[in-house]
């Protein structure tokens, strides 16, 4: 075959997350993956907390990472993969992974849309020769997760062949142009892609929403899809210009997470609900749980704490992530809150700094002369009220050092279970807190577009073909668009589709 485009959907089919779509353009002789995630639900069915996969074959067998033979790919994964311990310059022992570097692959690249684990985690095992295209801050966040957790078969992101981009850039893979463009999601550094294939533009939406504080970014992506401004501004050939302008969008590969069930919600409503609670608040402290890198939610809670002169207490791991985002801002809103400057934010620290990232964050606070905002667990015990504690789980040390004589409240505000943390432990936390007489509230806004926003988004793009993925209910799209000029195709895992 030497013309046309073939799509093979491996993950994210009839399921939320684990996206991996192989796109092959035969005319341009290009093979790329769109996202390379692991389905967290399936992962949880096989591994308990603290258990890890033993080898790559096991991951392929339980369908967590793509089967390269079935896809006629060579050199997709690293052949040498063993845990090693080595000595650092300071004499300290470190664990890492040993990898091979010199095998070739017929895959030309992997594009990662955003730093949620169900979109990138399988990168851990790839051949380090393969280029990985992603946003500047997307890479930073992936590396921060990597550095702040133990190395394992699914946490090994060292020495990847990163090729980073920002909105406004054009990627060129063997002559195939791809325009990455920012979208609003529950995590910073989320992108959609316009792939200028030999059969016409193919859109990969990634995860997105229209009701977040940065919904303007999704609007701008939509505008880009309709006008091709970025590519046109850098094309001189008049025939090419005309061809780009006149081509209908060939296909839209769209995240459809909430098509079957939506709520009218927004970050603004979250803020309003919290303010309502505070206007008449009988509680002394509040435990808060949300996705760590949900920057908008962090800002909402931090602003509330500041307004009511409460302390906002986070761990040093949280501080490390926010510090990285502040450092390499991709959008103005990520300057606020500034972890070094905001004096109402306090950092709960353990006695010893054993990891490099801990040393890095402690050093940054010291240099900025803000280390008086470090708080020991002993100091936490002495607080007599007016404080938030941000938690991802209830660890022993925290339980030992929280003053449960005070009146506490738990607010669960996790928005995308399975996207960041593998184990959604909210109900477990809620149950445990019942023993202390701590009531639980749920205050929520999703990272995914509502059903009506999805339908309008698809209609505006008006593609020839729609592939709904990242949803358990793709059949909704078939029904909804049955009388429209948009043809809906429901992909099946590993079934090739020729465009």
Interaction site with Zn ion (CB under 5 A): 116, 207, 419
Of 116 and 292, which has the nearer Cβ to Zn ion?
A: 116
Strand order, beta sheet including 171-173: 171-173, 176-182, 191-197, 200-204, 251-255, 465-469, 487-488
- Of the pair 207, 316, the CB lying nearest Zn ion is at 207
Residue 72 Cβ vs Zn ion, minimum distance, rounded to whole Å = 29
Q: How far is the CB of 169 from Zn ion (least distance, A)?
A: 21
Residue with tokens 């303010």: 275
Structure-block tokens of residue 183: 């979208």
The CB-of-117 to Zn ion minimum distance in angstroms stands at 9
SS3 at position 434: helix
Task: Name the residue nearer to Zn ion (CB basis): 208 or 467.
Answer: 208
As a whole number of angstroms, the distance between CA 415 and CA 421 comes to 11
- For Zn ion, the closer of residues 187 and 347 by Cβ is 187
The answer to whether the CB of 465 falls within 8 A of the CB of 487 is: yes
Cβ proximity to Zn ion, 270 vs 380, nearer residue? 270
Shortest distance (Å) from residue 155 CB to Zn ion: 19
* Gap between the Cα atoms of 211 and 324, Å rounded: 26
Alpha-carbon torsion angle 265, 271, 276, 279, nearest 10: 180
Q: Is 10 helix (H, G, I), strand (E, B) or coil?
A: strand
Helix (H, G, I), strand (E, B) or coil at 200: strand
Partners of residue 389 on adjacent β-strands: 287, 313
- Choose between 184 and 207: whose C-beta lies nearer to Zn ion: 207
Minimum distance, C-beta of residue 417 to Zn ion, in the bound complex (Å): 11
| CB nearer Zn ion, residue 207 or residue 453 | 207
Which secondary-structure segment (H or E) carries 456?
helix 451-461
Nearest Cα neighbor of 252 from 4, 16, 462 is 462
Q: Tokens 């959604």 correspond to what residue?
A: 424
- Cα 183 → chain centroid: 12
Angstrom distance (rounded) from CA 111 to CA 193: 9
**Under 8 Å between Cβ of 158 and 96:** yes
Output the smallest distance, CB 469 to Zn ion, in A: 12
The DSSP symbol for 391 reads -
Report, in Å, the least distance between residue 118 CB and Zn ion: 7
Contacts for 1 with CB less than 8 Å, ≥ 6 apart: 26
Q: Compute the least distance from the CB of residue 424 to Zn ion, in Å.
A: 14
Total residue length of the chain: 499
Pairing type for strands 161-165 and 345-348 reads: unpaired
Judged by beta carbon, residue 19 or residue 197, the one nearer Zn ion is 19
Looking at the Cβ atoms of 203 and 419, the one nearer to Zn ion is 419
Cβ 441 to Zn ion, closest distance in Å? Answer: 24
Question: Smaller CB distance to Zn ion: residue 386 or 473?
Answer: 473
CB of 65 to Zn ion, least distance (A): 18
């Amino acid at each position: 075959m030497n013309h046309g485009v073939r799509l093979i959907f491996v993950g994210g089919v009839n399921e939320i997350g684990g996206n991996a779509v192989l796109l092959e353009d035969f005319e341009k002789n290009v093979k790329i993956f769109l996202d390379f995630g692991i389905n967290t639900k399936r992962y949880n069915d096989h591994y308990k907390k603290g258990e890890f996969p033993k080898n790559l074959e096991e991951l392929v067998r339980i369908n967590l990472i793509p089967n390269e033979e079935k896809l006629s790919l060579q050199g997709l994964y690293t052949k040498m993969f063993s845990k090693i311990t080595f000595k650092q310059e300071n004499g300290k022992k470190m664990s890492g992974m040993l990898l091979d570097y010199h095998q070739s692959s017929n895959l030309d690249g992997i594009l990662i849309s955003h730093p949620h684990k169900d979109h990138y985690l399988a990168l851990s095992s790839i051949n380090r020769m393969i280029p990985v295209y992603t946003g500047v801050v997307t890479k930073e966040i992936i590396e921060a997760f990597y550095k702040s957790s133990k190395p394992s078969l699914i946490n090994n992101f060292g020495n990847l062949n990163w090729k980073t981009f920002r909105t406004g850039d054009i990627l060129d893979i063997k002559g195939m142009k791809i325009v990455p463009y920012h979208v609003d999601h529950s995590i910073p550094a989320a992108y959609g892609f316009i792939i200028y294939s030999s059969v016409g533009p193919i859109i990969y939406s990634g995860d997105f929403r229209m009701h977040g504080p940065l919904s303007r970014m999704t609007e701008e992506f939509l505008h880009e899809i309709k006008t091709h401004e970025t590519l046109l501004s850098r094309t001189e050939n008049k025939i090419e210009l005309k061809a780009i302008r006149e081509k209908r969008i060939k296909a839209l590969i769209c995240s459809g997470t909430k098509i079957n069930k939506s709520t009218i919600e927004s970050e603004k409503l979250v803020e309003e609900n919290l303010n309502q609670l505070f206007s008449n608040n009988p509680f002394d402290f509040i435990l808060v749980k949300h996705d760590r890198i949900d920057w908008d939610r962090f800002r909402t809670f931090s602003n509330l704490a500041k307004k009511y002169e409460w302390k906002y207490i986070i761990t040093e791991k949280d501080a490390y992530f926010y510090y990285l985002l502040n450092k390499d801002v991709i959008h103005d809103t990520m300057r606020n809150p500034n972890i070094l400057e905001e004096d109402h934010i306090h950092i709960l620290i353990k006695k010893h700094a054993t990891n490099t990232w801990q040393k890095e964050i402690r050093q940054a606070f010291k240099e900025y002369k803000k280390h008086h905002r470090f708080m020991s667990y002993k100091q936490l015990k002495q607080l007599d009220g007016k404080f938030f504690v941000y938690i991802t789980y209830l660890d022993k040390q925290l339980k030992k050092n929280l003053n449960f004589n005070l009146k506490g409240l738990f607010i669960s505000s996790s928005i995308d279970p399975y996207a960041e943390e593998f184990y959604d432990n909210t109900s477990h936390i809620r149950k445990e807190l019942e023993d202390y007489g701590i009531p639980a509230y749920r205050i929520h806004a999703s990272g995914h577009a509502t059903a009506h926003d999805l339908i309008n988004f698809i209609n505006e793009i008006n593609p020839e073909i729609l592939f709904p993925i990242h949803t358990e209910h793709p059949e909704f799209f078939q029904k909804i668009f049955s009388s429209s000029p948009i043809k809906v195709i429901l992909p099946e895992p590993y079934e090739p589709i020729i465009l």
